[in-house]
């Protein structure tokens, strides 16, 4: 047990033969564009939020607002830890360094679940929003988006920052159009935002319970989850001690506005509870305006989904690259995943996350949502634990952005996230718990006996100041 709790200086020797390093090529603006594109506010609004409308009705905006407030505390943890430990490994590098190698390994597995599942979840929404132009099978359309995103992910990071920046503008325009139309066609007052009603069977109105809101918080946390991309890109950000925190906090603030304002507008503008619970935002936009505007918004959303796929593949390949560099696998696997291509991107790792992502488009969507919600909540909980330990030993004096209200904020976050986990569906908890159990066995049987040569979490030399 002591191996899981010792700080890095006692437990984590540096890998003596680390492969090539990623190059620092983007500033805070490029990092924010990439990170916002990973949050992909418009595609989240049009793909994930409709499911929340289906279960939470008028309480959707309130649930997302609560989730966003919780994410402020999470963002503070990421900002402090991301500037203290700027590594492409993201959460697992931070947690391994501060809370021990087993905790870091488990958070790596949870983050790997998230980064493998979220892109296909978003990508499968493409077919719905291309429907005004062409009818496609959702699974096939999603797989196509994942393969296209994989090809784009092989390019230089700076080039992708510009590509995703253009797409991001289009998706913000789409969200703005929805917000303006929704507010212009309001059918109910602001009080409906806290009325907590959903359309039931046979035209009746059902009340949304507080427990249902709490269970929905796992998905609400997922809605703005992409702000953590700034941490994954920290090895490629210039001046990471300063720019990681700026990118994390700016991204959370902007994405919350882009998502929450249209959700409020849709809640007020839906003609009745049945239309709101149905969650067909495209049809609402067409009803509020005309088919041309509806088609424009749908096309913008489809582009936003492709944009999200590109950035998520970029992010996810960095996680896999970092795990190989840190010796998480047998040596032949490490050698393959740590290869850098012509454009400086980890090309094998990019293919390894993109191609399976295409296959996941054929898995049941509800299962993907549920496992992702549990994984995100568990990952945030472990990051909060690491934040609680972030000012021990020499880390107390390391130059880094420091969160306000420490240690109260991470301690409170741990309690809240733990409670949210207890309210999730048993099946999703079992799926995630089973994968975590297998990962623990891998740790116990392979990584821990080879602690001197495996799972050696490293930092780039220019980050150890």
> Residue 280's domain is classified under what CATH number?
1.20.1740.10
- Per-residue HEC secondary structure of the chain comes to CHHHCCCHHHHCCCCCCCCCCCCCCECHHHHHHHHHHHHCHHHHHHHHHHHHHHHHHHHHHHHHHHHHHHHHHHHHHHHHHHHHCCCCCCHHHHHHHHHCHHHHHHHHHHHHHHHHHHHHHHHCCHHHHHCCCCCCCHHHHHHHHHHHHHHHHCCCHHHHHHHHHHHHHHHHHHHHHHHHHHHHCCCCCHHHHHCCEEECHHHCEEECCHHHHHHHHHHHHHHCHHHHHHHHCCCCECCHHHHHHHHHHHHHHHHHHHHHHHHHHHHHHCCCHHHHHHCCHHHHHHHHCCHHHHHHHHHHHHHHHHHHHHHHHHHHHHHHHHHHHCCCCCHHHHHHHCCCCCCCCCHHHHHHHHHHHHHHCCCCHHHHHHHHHHHHHHHHHHHHHHHHCCCCHHHHHCCCCCCCCCCHHHHHHHHHHHHHHHCCCHHHHHHHHHHHHHHHHHHHHHHHHHCCCCCCCCCCHHHCC
Residue 407 has pLDDT above 60, yes or no: yes
Closest Cα partner for 83 from 409, 398, 414, 404? 398
Q: Write down the pLDDT at residue 109.
A: 92
The per-residue pLDDT for range 213-258, each reduced to its tens digit, is 888 888 888 787 777 777 777 777 777 777 888 888 888 888 899 8
Confidence tier at 444 by pLDDT (50, 70, 90): very high
Range with top average pLDDT, 82-86, 353-357, 383-387: 383-387
CB atoms inside a 10 Å sphere around CB 450: 12
Residue 90 has pLDDT above 90, yes or no: no
Closest Cα partner for 377 from 234, 209, 260, 214? 214
Please name the residues in contact with 113: beta carbons below 8 A apart, sequence gap of 6 or more. 371, 372, 375, 432, 435
The per-residue pLDDT for range 101-157, each reduced to its tens digit, is 899 999 989 988 887 888 888 788 788 777 777 788 888 888 988 888 888 777 655
| Count of the separate structural domains present in the chain | 1
Residue 170 has pLDDT above 70, yes or no: yes
Q: Write down the pLDDT at residue 5.
A: 36
Domain that holds residue 281: 2-14+23-463
Q: Write down the pLDDT at residue 136.
A: 84
The Cα–Cα gap between 204 and 198 comes to 9
Confidence tier at 23 by pLDDT (50, 70, 90): low
Please name the residues in contact with 319: beta carbons below 8 A apart, sequence gap of 6 or more. 88, 89, 90, 92, 108, 111, 112, 115, 232, 353
């Amino acid at each position: 047990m002591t191996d899981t709790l010792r700080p890095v200086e006692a437990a984590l020797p540096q890998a003596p033969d680390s492969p090539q390093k990623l190059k620092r090529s983007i500033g805070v603006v490029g990092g924010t564009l990439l990170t916002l594109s990973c949050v992909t506010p418009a595609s989240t609004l049009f793909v994930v939020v409709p499911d929340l409308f289906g279960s939470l009705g008028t309480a959707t905006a309130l649930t997302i607002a609560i989730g966003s407030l919780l994410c402020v505390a999470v963002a503070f943890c990421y900002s402090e830890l991301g500037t203290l430990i700027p590594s492409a490994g993201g959460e697992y590098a931070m947690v391994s360094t501060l809370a021990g190698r087993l905790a870091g390994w488990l958070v790596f597995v949870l983050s790997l679940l998230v980064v493998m599942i979220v892109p296909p979840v978003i990508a499968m929404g493409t077919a719905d929003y291309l429907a005004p132009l062409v009818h496609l099978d959702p699974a096939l359309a999603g797989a196509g988006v994942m393969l296209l995103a994989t090809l784009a992910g092989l390019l230089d990071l700076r080039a992708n920052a510009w590509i995703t920046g253009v797409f991001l503008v289009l998706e913000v325009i789409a969200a703005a159009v929805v917000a303006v139309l929704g507010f212009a066609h309001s059918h109910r007052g602001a009080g409906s935002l806290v009325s907590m009603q959903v359309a039931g069977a046979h035209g009746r109105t059902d009340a949304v319970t507080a427990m249902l809101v709490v269970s929905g918080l796992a998905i609400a946390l997922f809605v703005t989850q992409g702000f953590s991309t700034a941490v994954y890109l920290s090895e490629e950000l210039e001046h990471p001690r300063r720019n990681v925190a700026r990118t994390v906090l700016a991204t959370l603030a902007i994405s919350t506005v882009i998502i929450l304002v249209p959700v409020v507008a849709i809640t007020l503008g839906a003609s009745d509870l049945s239309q709101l619970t149905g969650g067909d935002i495209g049809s609402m936009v067409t009803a509020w305006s005309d088919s041309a505007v509806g088609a424009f918004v749908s096309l913008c959303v489809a582009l936003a989904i492709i944009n999200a796929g590109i950035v998520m593949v970029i992010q996810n390949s960095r996680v896999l690259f970092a795990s190989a560099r840190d010796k998480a696998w047998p040596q032949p696997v490490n050698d393959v995943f740590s290869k850098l291509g012509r454009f400086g991107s980890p090309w094998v790792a990019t293919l390894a996350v993109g191609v399976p992502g295409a296959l996941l488009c054929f898995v049941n969507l509800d299962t993907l949502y549920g496992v992702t919600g549990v994984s995100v909540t568990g990952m945030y909980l472990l990051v909060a634990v690491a934040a609680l330990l972030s000012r021990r030993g020499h880390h107390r004096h390391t130059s880094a952005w420091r969160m306000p209200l420490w240690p109260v904020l991470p301690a409170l976050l741990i309690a809240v996230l733990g409670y949210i986990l207890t309210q999730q569906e048993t099946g999703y908890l079992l799926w995630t718990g089973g994968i975590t159990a297998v990962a623990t066995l891998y740790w116990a049987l392979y990584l821990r006996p080879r602690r001197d040569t495996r799972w050696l979490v490293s930092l780039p030399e220019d980050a150890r100041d």
